Amino acid sequence: MKAFVVDKYQKKGALRLADMPEPELRDNDVLVEVHAAGVNLLDSKVRDGEFKPVLPYRPPFILGHDVAGIVVRAGSKVRKFKAGDEVYARPRDGRIGTFAEIIAMDEADVALKPKNLSMEEAASIPLVGLTAWQVLVERVGLRKGQKVFIQAGSGGVGTFAIQLAKHLGATVATTASAASTDLMKSLGADVVVDYRKDDFEKVLQGYDVVLNSQDAKTLEKSLGVLKPGGKLISISGPPDPEFARKQGLNIVLKLVLRFLSLGIRRRAKRAGVDYSFLFMWAQGDQLGQITSLIETGVIRPVMDRTFPFEQTNEALAYVETGRAKGKVVVRVR
């Protein structure tokens, strides 16, 4: 099968289009013919080696974290899916590889594709949808009447999280360019701060939750937006000791991550707010709940553009510019 491969960890290194063996089908796996694959900044970071200490893939390996396609075969212990099912997923860490014609995934990571979405639209959802769900529903239990600040509203996570937060009954603020204001409002944002003109920490106060996806400077500014007892959840780091514990990292890495997050944890404590890091995980049941929200029209995918499979490197480079509004997808079939 054809696949895009990381031959060595290298910043902005090109992926190689290669002939690779078809993946092994385990008892709990479904073998999926890939029709479309979402492209994420996480792909760039894994290729660059940023996550090598905690996600030690051994090159050559196939990249890609989002998939939509059709089940061609099911393992002997699979009960949820059968050949011919249209599915989508974010395969678990250690078993990524959606930039390929075929992928094998544990059935626990997979959900039936929303009936009202194309393969390309469906492939845009899993990673960003699960990230938003795990922050807003699992981590903070966002409730009606609360206020949430979602940074970078026009990005992949932002466009999904705004819709989910509004569905949960929250007042939603975000940052975006003036050109994206109408899109943000259409997704449900109540307050849109033009990041080119205004400092969000001077405009927003008394918020219950901040979803941080930006740099360390933005993370620190976010403390001033929260009311006492508020929650600052970052999906862009720095990782905290709880993440290190869950990952089962060795004592040296645990100490490193504790040190990296020490400053923001101390400042958060002084401000009377809670800081935590979230690295999303594969979860087919949660994705199934997201499917219901999409099929009932509560959430819609926001797509920037689709690239042909042969242009996967170009798609990755475009995502790295940070200019995409919504998600970028490669069409495999």
| Domain edges within the chain | 2-125+301-331, 127-277
**Residue 212 pLDDT:** 98
**Residue 144 pLDDT:** 98
Question: What are the tens digits of pLDDT across the range 280-331?
Answer: 999 999 999 999 999 999 999 999 999 999 999 999 999 999 999 999 999 9
The domain 2-125+301-331 belongs to what CATH superfamily? Answer: Medium-chain alcohol dehydrogenases, catalytic domain (3.90.180.10)
Question: What are the tens digits of pLDDT across the range 122-148?
Answer: 999 999 999 999 999 999 999 999 999
Block residue for tokens 């920037």: 304
**Residue 114 pLDDT:** 98
Q: pTM surpassing 0.85?
A: yes
Rounded CA-CA distance 174/51 in Å is 28
pLDDT band, residue 56 (cuts 50/70/90): confident
Q: Given this chain, do its domains 2-125+301-331 and 127-277 carry the same CATH topology? A: no
Q: Which of 39-43, 54-58, 194-198 has the lowest mean pLDDT?
A: 54-58
The domain 127-277 belongs to what CATH superfamily? Answer: NAD(P)-binding Rossmann-like Domain (3.40.50.720)
pLDDT band, residue 23 (cuts 50/70/90): very high
Answer whether 86's CB lies under 8 Å from 32's CB: no
HEC string for the chain: CEEEEECCCCCCCCCEEEECCCCCCCCCEEEEEEEEEEECHHHHHHHHCCCCCCCCCCCCEECCCCEEEEEEEECCCCCCCCCCCEEEECCCCCCCCCCECEEEEEHHHEEECCCCCCHHHHHCCHHHHHHHHHHHHHHCCCCCCCEEEECCCCCHHHHHHHHHHHHCCCEEEEEECHHHHHHHHHHCCCEEEECCCCCHHHHCCCEEEEEECCCHHHHHHHHHHEEEEEEEEECCCCCCHHHHHHHCCCHHHHHHHHHHCHHHHHHHHHHCCEEEECCCCCCHHHHHHHHHHHHCCCCCCCEEEEEEHHHHHHHHHHHHCCCCCCEEEEECC
**Residue 295 pLDDT:** 98
- In our burial notation (b when 16+ CB lie closer than 10 A, e otherwise), range 219-254 reads bbbbbbbbeeebbbbbbbbbbbbebbeebebeeeeb
CB atoms within 10 A of CB 49: 17
Question: What are the tens digits of pLDDT across the range 82-101?
Answer: 999 999 999 999 999 999 99
**Residue 182 pLDDT:** 98
pLDDT band, residue 171 (cuts 50/70/90): very high
pLDDT over 90 (residue 109): yes
How much is the mean pLDDT over the chain? 97
